């Protein structure tokens, strides 16, 4: 297994040594990356790293627009934000990941997601777990 494949680029042993609170923070960052929230983030470190570098409040940014809605206090108000269809299962997987005592390998998680939700959902999880194929370095002979 590749090293550093859990959120935060941690190995399985490092992941299990973290407290549930620290794992939840790393998963919150991964969930923000799943929605590509770093592109519209006001924090420079997030935009520079092309990933969330913030705290757990970053994952609630899509909901904030609804909180500013003038109809928010009405009893018939409904939230307008919903996860896109292909990201619902990956977000559910990320929700339960910090609380698993023996989490499966990221490769197994991606394979299960692909079987259940399709290739598009598995591709989103591959980016979160940093499992995409690495490009070969170009040598002088290949140029």
What does the DSSP assignment read for 9-71? Answer: TB-HHHHHHS-HHHHHHHHHHHHHHHTTGGGG-S-HHHHHHTS--S-GGGGGHHHHHHHT-TT
Which residue in this structure is represented by tokens 């520079």? 48
Considering only the C-alpha atoms of the chain, give the largest distance between any 2 of them, rounded to a whole number of Å. 68
Most confident of 44-48, 61-65, 77-81, 136-140: 44-48
Each residue's pLDDT tens digit, 115-126: 888 888 888 888
Smallest Cα–Cα separation from 35: which of 94, 79, 77, 75?
94
Domain boundaries, the chain: 12-128
* Beta-carbon count within 10 A of 130 CB: 15
User: Stretch 8-19: mean pLDDT, rounded?
Assistant: 90
Can you read off the two tokens belonging to residue 105? 């390998």
């Amino acid at each position: 297994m590749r090293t550093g494949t859990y959120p935060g680029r941690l190995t399985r042993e490092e992941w299990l040594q973290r407290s549930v609170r620290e794992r939840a923070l790393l998963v919150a960052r991964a969930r923000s990356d799943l929605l590509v929230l770093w592109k519209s983030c006001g924090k420079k470190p997030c935009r520079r790293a092309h990933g969330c570098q913030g705290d757990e409040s970053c994952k609630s940014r899509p909901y904030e627009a609804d909180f500013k809605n003038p109809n928010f206090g009405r009893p018939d108000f409904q939230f307008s934000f919903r996860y896109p269809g292909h990201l619902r299962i990956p977000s559910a997987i990320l929700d339960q990941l910090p609380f698993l005592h023996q989490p499966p390998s990221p490769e197994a998680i991606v394979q299960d997601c692909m079987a259940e939700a399709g290739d598009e959902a598995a591709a989103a999880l591959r980016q979160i777990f940093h499992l995409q194929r690495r490009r070969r370095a170009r040598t002088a002979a290949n140029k």
